[in-house]
Amino acid sequence: MHTLKALLLAASLFGGATAAHAYPMDVIANGDFSNGSTGWDVAPNGSTGGATTAPPGGPAGIAFAYGTAFTPNTGDFVYLTQTIMATGNNSFSPVNLSFWLYSNDPEFDGFNFFLNGQWQVGTGTSPTEAPQDDYIAPTKSGWTEYNYNLPNLIIGSNTFVIALAPADYGDLYSFYVTDIQAITEAPEPASLALLGAGLLLLGLIRRRKPG
């Protein structure tokens, strides 16, 4: 009778663990650049820049951004790269990527980004080299928010890159980017705890069974 009750309790713990909902989690660190460029690898490619005060008119509560001043005729991408680690037994759910972009240069070409082993535009698979002349044109000057729904993160190391293509003759701080978020869903800690408790209880039952 005690064994039956214990089995029912273990089953309820497993059920609670599997029925519990996942919670949204931002897997990008320091996406608002409030800690400078911490967490980001930057390849300026003929430009100078860094975390700085964001121009007005951006997302509420955002004070900082990454800005770059281009030298004439660079015609190249600037890369901001971050490694995202996903751990667990199953793939994380699809990712909602969003960020805010500002340009004070009407000739600013656009941007591209890399995640899940592929650039969003073009066929390139190297995170260190965006496909040349393949980029997403900005919709307008000033601050604009961009949103993309992407496939699941893989377990392990995921490389995220945002690449920005300057105009041939860029002005001082011809772009700013901030509030970079990659929202996915992870198991709730409570779910994991219930699952662990169920496993522990089943282990104890197994040890106490005679024979």
pLDDT for res 135: 85
pTM: predicted TM-score of the whole model, two decimal places = 0.74
Q: Which of 207, 146, 131 is nearest to 178 (CA)?
A: 146
Instruction: Say what angle helices 2-19 and 189-208 make with each other, to 10 degrees.
Output: 160
Give the pair of three-digit tokens for residue 126: 């190297």
Residues 73 and 139 in one domain: yes
Residues 89 and 177 in one domain: yes
Q: Flag the least confident range among 58-62, 148-152, 162-166.
A: 162-166
Range of the domain at 64: 22-187
pLDDT-derived band at 209, boundaries 50, 70, 90: low
66: how many CB neighbours lie within 10 A of its CB? 25
Residues 13 and 47 in one domain: no
Q: What is the CATH number of the domain that holds 85?
A: 2.60.120.260
Q: What is the DSSP string of 107-126?
A: T--EEEEEETTEESSSS---
Mind listing the pLDDT tens digit for each residue in 129-161? 888 878 888 766 789 999 999 888 777 788 999
B/e letters for 108-146, b = 16+ CB within 10 Å, e = fewer, are bbbbbbbbeeebbbeebeebeebbeebbbebeeeebeeb
The number of folded domains in the chain is 2
3-state secondary structure of 12: helix
Residues 53 and 107 in one domain: yes
Residues 45 and 62 in one domain: yes
Give the pair of three-digit tokens for residue 190: 């409570």
